């Protein structure tokens, strides 16, 4: 019964009471030291020297550490190309050069300033165009995605458009900065508590940094104050900094970046610059699409290759492209290495096709939602550019339903009438879609393991590799386990994530945290249930449990438990005979008869296997789909934009927790809206980030949220590809935020006098005002 209910977030009460423990809430222990990072003052060049004498003479300074203190010099999730600390080559502004350790946190800033760093500056590469001209390629996609004959169809198409879609980066703006505390234990062991989405990676990176075996390191993650992808790879070196100091000084070491430092040092969402050419018919049906996706990867690879690929996988959006060629290349620049951020390249691909469709509609003077409708995946048009065929596709139905519920057609007429009055304000409305592929495209990551311990009082402790970052993964797993044993959710406690309980875990990412870890937890529950069912059967059949008999539960297996035994209301009932026993009593019998009450299970998503060189096989387990209709109003004198109303309709299968999923949907939408409308990263000539605090970097606040906001889920009981028929929700609705940007484009079309609309993302007030005031014919 707990499946599908709005069980509150397992941290809701402690969050509200301020009792939730984040890294920096851990009490300071005796001898603890504070670690600070000294960043490079130049974006590119050579490190000539580090003079730490003055710093070391400060009474609070306990040590200054450089690259030579690290056993492994480099780390990296996909390739080990990124220095822990600058060795000699400096590749981005504020790149970590050395660490200082202080007895008091208050002294960190003073001591950092006492370290003298000498550098030789050289010319850096800071744009995709420059990097391309210089051949600075970090990664090129193995093969293009090709269907049909693009060039021939483009040539023959009645209409063609060519252009470049440009979108900017995005700061993660998690509320808890990157942070870690490392505790040196006996025998050279290290226990590191980290704000990380990827504890297993953190464990490995710490071990490599120190040159010790993996078994010497345990990484614990209780929770994060937000991750959004920013703590998938980037948490690991931060933890290694703390661990190095802890190991050297044999004292606990804490590192907590300030907000400003965090924003300046860490990588962000990838800016993209996508070139395209499309051919279409007079109705607006896309006949051929050719696209070259180009990302700014920053100085090192990080996750850029997988992010570029996910962008390519989402270039189609929700639309069938009969003839298509998608290529991708990631360039090396002297920016902080760009990294995972909610959507993981998906938004940058998806928004390109949505922008194109808006332009096609503008060109043909047609309603853009109608142009989108005729291009949707539907009927026999279900083949993606990478060959996977959509199953259980609700896109046409979602489109029909949301036009109806949002009163799209009536409101479009109202907007046309409003705009014709020329009152210094202009409105626009736009519908966009999300069709997000669920699975890591690197197959080996689609696995999880779980440990479930049933206690003698009938309560449970559950450990998985999933990390809680606010998304509610703990609550969903709690519901799955409570449901499995027929106990109240309060009888299930989710334990802190730790690499000593769950090893070789994947990052909590790709929206698949609940899918993978929930499925693993369910398998572990089933193993215990299979034993208990055998025992209950014996009990009901009059088996005599006494000191002279031995009960054998048989070997463990992953088969689904016999459904005629019902676990409900803390009882186990044989639905055929009606016989029942309290769960607690059965547990006692099990314990007395030496039957294990804990289990460990491993899950892997079945049926996956995509070969990116040959572009064949199944890339995704399924797709999470949805649509949004957004209405905006622009002030023609100031460029100020207001979102008047948003309607969202998502297909989340059978939601495990509609309340949490609603929170994820609204939150992701608003974060996506911020990316395309107000979050503008500004660097000076030397590449200092100028927008390194909330005073200059504008994320949406409560007043920027839509005046009217409707979020709804479409019924879809037919998803049999995931645990309890649910669908992943974490990232997919992020892509819907782009409807605010296309709505801005729509609004601008009323003042374009038939000219093309040149809009880049983010469409800040300045950008909007420039476009509104661009003289005609320029
Ligand atoms: N929600 C909150 N509150 N905080 C976060 O950091 N991260 C998002 C999403 N929702 C995030 C969030 C990202 S980037 C991902 S991949 C998913 O949550 C990860 O969680 P899941 O796979 O368990 O859904
Ligand atoms: C989505 C993701 C990830 C991904 C692919 C996706 C992700 C991630 C990796 C990855 C790829 C190769 C590696 C590795 C990780 O791929 O988060 O360690 O060697 O980490 O489609 O979110
Ligand atoms: Mo989310 S970007 O996959 O951590």
Contact yes or no for 315/291 (Cβ under 8 A)? yes
Whether residue 775 has pLDDT greater than 90: no
Q: Which structure tokens are listed for 354? A: 């949505």
Whether residue 426 has pLDDT greater than 80: yes
Helix (H) or strand (E) holding 182: strand 179-184
CA nearest ligand 3 atom 4, residue: 229
Ligand 3 centroid–CA 730 distance in Å is: 8
- For the chain, the distance separating the N- and C-terminal CA atoms, rounded to the nearest angstrom, is 63
pLDDT at residue number 172: 98
DSSP assignment of 236-286, as one string? HHHHHHHHHHHHHHTS-EEEE--HHHHHHHS--PPPEEEEEEEEE-TT--E
Ligand 3 centroid–CA 255 distance in Å is: 23
- The alpha carbon torsion through 333, 339, 345, 346 (nearest 10 deg) reads -170
Task: Verify whether ligand 2 is closer than 6 Å to residue 78 (CB atom).
Answer: yes
Whether residue 593 has pLDDT greater than 90: yes
DSSP assignment of 600-621, as one string? EEEEE-TT-EEETTTTEEE--S
Task: Please list the residues that pair with 36 across neighbouring strands.
Answer: 100
pLDDT at residue number 1: 64
% helix / strand / coil in the chain, to the nearest 5?
Answer: 30, 25, 40
Task: Verify whether ligand 2 is closer than 6 Å to residue 310 (CB atom).
Answer: yes
**Average of per-residue pLDDT across 114-128:** 98
CA distance 727 to 341: 20
pLDDT digits (tens, 9 = 90+) for 695-718: 999 999 999 999 999 999 999 999
Let me know if 731 is a catalytic residue: yes
Helix (H) or strand (E) holding 431: strand 425-438
Ligand with smallest separation from the Cα of 349: 2
Q: Which of 302, 344, 347 to mutate to test the pocket of ligand 3 (most atoms within 8 A of CB)?
A: 344
Ligand with smallest separation from the Cα of 470: 1
Contact yes or no for 459/526 (Cβ under 8 A)? no
Task: Verify whether ligand 2 is closer than 6 Å to residue 11 (CB atom).
Answer: no
Q: Which structure tokens are listed for 2? A: 């707990």
Burial class (CB in 10 A: 0-12, 13-18, 19+), 285: middle
pLDDT at residue number 746: 98
User: Which residue, 427, 435, 413, is CA-closest to 707?
Assistant: 427
Q: How is domain 272-441+613-773 classified at the CATH fold level? A: Aldehyde Oxidoreductase; domain 4 (3.30.365)
pLDDT at residue number 307: 98
Q: Largest Cα–Cα distance of the chain, in whole Å?
A: 97
pLDDT digits (tens, 9 = 90+) for 92-102: 999 999 999 99
CATH of domain 447-604: 3.30.365.10
pLDDT at residue number 776: 79
**Average of per-residue pLDDT across 527-546:** 96
DSSP secondary structure code for residue 736 in this structure: G
pLDDT at residue number 703: 95
CATH of domain 12-123+172-265: 3.30.365.10
DSSP secondary structure code for residue 49 in this structure: E
Task: Please list the residues that pair with 642 across neighbouring strands.
Answer: 633
Q: Is 362 helix (H, G, I), strand (E, B) or coil?
A: helix
Contact yes or no for 626/648 (Cβ under 8 A)? yes
Alpha helices, H only, 52-192: 53-57, 108-114, 128-133, 150-156
Average pLDDT, the chain: 97
Ligand 3 centroid–CA 384 distance in Å is: 23
Q: Which atom of ligand 3 is nearest to the CA of 343?
A: 2
Q: How confident is the model at residue 778 (pLDDT cuts 50, 70, 90)?
A: confident
Contact yes or no for 115/50 (Cβ under 8 A)? yes
- Checking phi first, is residue 245 left (phi over 0); if not, alpha (psi -120 to 50) or beta? alpha
Task: Please list the residues that pair with 165 across neighbouring strands.
Answer: 274
User: Which residue, 714, 776, 682, is CA-closest to 400?
Assistant: 714
Ligand 3 centroid–CA 511 distance in Å is: 7
Task: Verify whether ligand 1 is closer than 6 Å to residue 354 (CB atom).
Answer: no
pLDDT digits (tens, 9 = 90+) for 135-151: 999 999 999 999 999 99
Whether residue 570 has pLDDT greater than 90: yes
Q: Which atom of ligand 2 is nearest to the CA of 511?
A: 22
CA distance 38 to 261: 10
Q: Which structure tokens are listed for 679? A: 């979050």
Task: Verify whether ligand 3 is closer than 6 Å to residue 510 (CB atom).
Answer: yes
- In the chain, which segments carry CATH 3.30.365.10? 12-123+172-265, 272-441+613-773, 447-604
CA nearest ligand 2 atom 3, residue: 440
Q: Which atom of ligand 2 is nearest to the CA of 310?
A: 21
Q: What are phi and psi of 332, to 5 degrees?
A: -95, 125
Whether residue 492 has pLDDT greater than 70: yes
Contact yes or no for 521/450 (Cβ under 8 A)? yes
Task: Verify whether ligand 1 is closer than 6 Å to residue 469 (CB atom).
Answer: yes
Residues contacting 12, CB < 8 A, separation 6+: none
Ligand 1 centroid–CA 664 distance in Å is: 8
Q: Which atom of ligand 3 is nearest to the CA of 509?
A: 3
Q: Which atom of ligand 1 is nearest to the CA of 472?
A: 23
Q: Is 646 helix (H, G, I), strand (E, B) or coil?
A: strand
- The alpha carbon torsion through 677, 683, 688, 693 (nearest 10 deg) reads -20
DSSP secondary structure code for residue 32 in this structure: -
Burial class (CB in 10 A: 0-12, 13-18, 19+), 472: buried
Burial profile 138-168: b = 16 or more Cβ within 10 angstroms, e = fewer? bbebeebbbbbebeebbeebeeebebebbbb
Task: Verify whether ligand 2 is closer than 6 Å to residue 222 (CB atom).
Answer: no
Ligand 2 centroid–CA 555 distance in Å is: 35
pLDDT at residue number 11: 96
Residues contacting 685, CB < 8 A, separation 6+: none
User: Which residue, 178, 184, 330, is CA-closest to 264?
Assistant: 178
pLDDT at residue number 777: 77
Catalytic residue among 176, 277, 309, 731: 731
pLDDT digits (tens, 9 = 90+) for 207-234: 999 999 999 999 999 999 999 999 999 9
């Amino acid at each position: 019964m707990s499946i599908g209910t709005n069980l509150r977030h397992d941290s809701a009460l402690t969050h509200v009471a301020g009792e939730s423990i984040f890294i920096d809430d851990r009490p300071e222990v005796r001898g603890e030291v504070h670690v600070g990072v000294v960043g490079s003052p130049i974006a590119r060049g050579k490190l000539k020297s580090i003079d730490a004498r003055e710093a070391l003479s400060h009474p609070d300074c306990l040590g200054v550490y450089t690259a030579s203190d690290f056993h492994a010099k480099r780390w990296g999730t996909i390739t080990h190309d990124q220095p822990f600390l600058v060795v000699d080559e400096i590749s981005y502004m504020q790149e970590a050069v050395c660490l200082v350790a202080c007895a008091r946190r208050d002294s960190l800033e003073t001591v950092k300033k006492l370290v003298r760093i000498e550098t030789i500056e050289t010319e850096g590469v800071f744009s995709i165009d420059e990097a391309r001209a210089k051949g600075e390629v970090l990664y090129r996609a193995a093969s293009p995605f090709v269907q049909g004959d693009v060039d021939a169809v483009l040539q023959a198409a009645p209409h063609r458009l060519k252009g470049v879609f440009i979108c900017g980066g995005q700061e993660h703006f998690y509320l808890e900065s990157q942070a870690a505390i490392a505790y040196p234990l006996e025998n050279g062991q290290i226990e590191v508590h980290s704000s990380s989405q990827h504890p297993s990676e953190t464990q490995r990176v710490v071990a490599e940094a120190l040159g010790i075996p993996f078994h010497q390191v345990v990484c614990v993650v209780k929770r994060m104050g937000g991750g959004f992808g920013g703590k998938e790879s980037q948490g690991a070196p931060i933890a290694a900094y703390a661990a190095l100091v802890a190991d050297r000084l044999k004292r606990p070491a804490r590192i907590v970046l300030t907000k400003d430092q965090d924003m300046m040092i860490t990588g962000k969402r990838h800016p993209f610059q996508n070139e395209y050419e499309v051919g279409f018919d007079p109705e607006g049906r896309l006949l051929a699409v050719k696209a070259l996706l180009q990302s700014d990867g920053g100085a090192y690879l990080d996750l850029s290759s997988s992010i570029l690929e996910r962008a390519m996988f989402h270039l189609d959006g929700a639309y069938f492209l009969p003839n298509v060629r998608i290529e991708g290349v990631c360039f090396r620049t002297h920016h902080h290495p760009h990294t995972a951020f909610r959507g993981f390249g998906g938004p940058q691909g998806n928004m390109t096709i949505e922008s194109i469709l808006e332009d096609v509609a503008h060109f043909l003077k047609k309603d853009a939602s109608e142009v989108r409708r005729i291009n949707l995946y539907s009927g026999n048009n279900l083949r993606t550019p990478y060959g996977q065929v959509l199953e259980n596709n609700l896109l046409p139905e979602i489109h029909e339903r949301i036009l109806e519920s949002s009163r799209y057609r009536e409101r479009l007429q109202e907007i046309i009438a409003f705009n014709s009055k020329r009152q210094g304000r202009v409105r626009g409305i736009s519908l966009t879609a999300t069709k997000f592929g669920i699975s890591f495209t690197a197959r080996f990551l689609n696995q999880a393991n779980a440990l479930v311990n049933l206690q003698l009082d009938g309560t449970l402790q559950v450990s998985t590799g999933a990390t809680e970052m606010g998304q509610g993964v703990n609550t969903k797993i709690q519901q799955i386990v409570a449901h499995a044993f027929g106990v109240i959710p309060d009888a299930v406690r989710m334990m802190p994530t730790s690499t000593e309980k769950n090893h070789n875990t994947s990052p909590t990412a790709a929206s698949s945290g609940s899918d993978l870890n929930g499925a693993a937890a369910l398998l572990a529950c089933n193993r215990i249930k299979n034993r208990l069912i055998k025992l209950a059967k014996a009990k009901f059949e009059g088996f005599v449990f006494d000191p002279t008999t031995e009960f054998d539960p048989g070997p463990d297996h992953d088969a689904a438990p016999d459904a005629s035994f019902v676990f409900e209301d803390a009882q186990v009932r044989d639905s055929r005979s009606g016989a029942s026993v309290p769960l607690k009593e059965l547990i006692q019998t099990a314990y007395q008869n030496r039957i294990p009450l804990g289990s460990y299970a491993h899950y892997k998503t079945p049926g996956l296997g995509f070969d990116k060189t040959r572009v064949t096989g199944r890339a995704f387990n399924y797709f999470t789909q949805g649509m949004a209709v957004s209405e905006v109003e622009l002030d023609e004198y100031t460029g100020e934009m207001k979102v008047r109303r948003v309607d969202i309709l998502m297909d989340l299968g059978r939601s495990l927790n509609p309340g949490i999923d609603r929170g994820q949907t609204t939150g992701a939408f608003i974060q996506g809206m911020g990316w395309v409308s107000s979050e503008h990263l500004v660097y000076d000539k030397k590449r200092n980030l100028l927008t390194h605090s909330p005073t200059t970097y504008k994320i949406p606040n409560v007043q920027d949220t839509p005046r009217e906001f409707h979020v709804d889920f479409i019924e879809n009981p037919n998803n049999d590809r995931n645990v309890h028929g649910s669908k992943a929700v974490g990232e997919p609705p992020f892509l819907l935020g782009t409807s605010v940007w296309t709505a801005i484009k729509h609004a601008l079309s009323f003042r374009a006098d038939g000219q093309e609309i040149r809009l880049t993302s983010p469409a800040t007030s300045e950008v909007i005002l420039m476009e509104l005031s661009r003289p005609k014919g320029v």
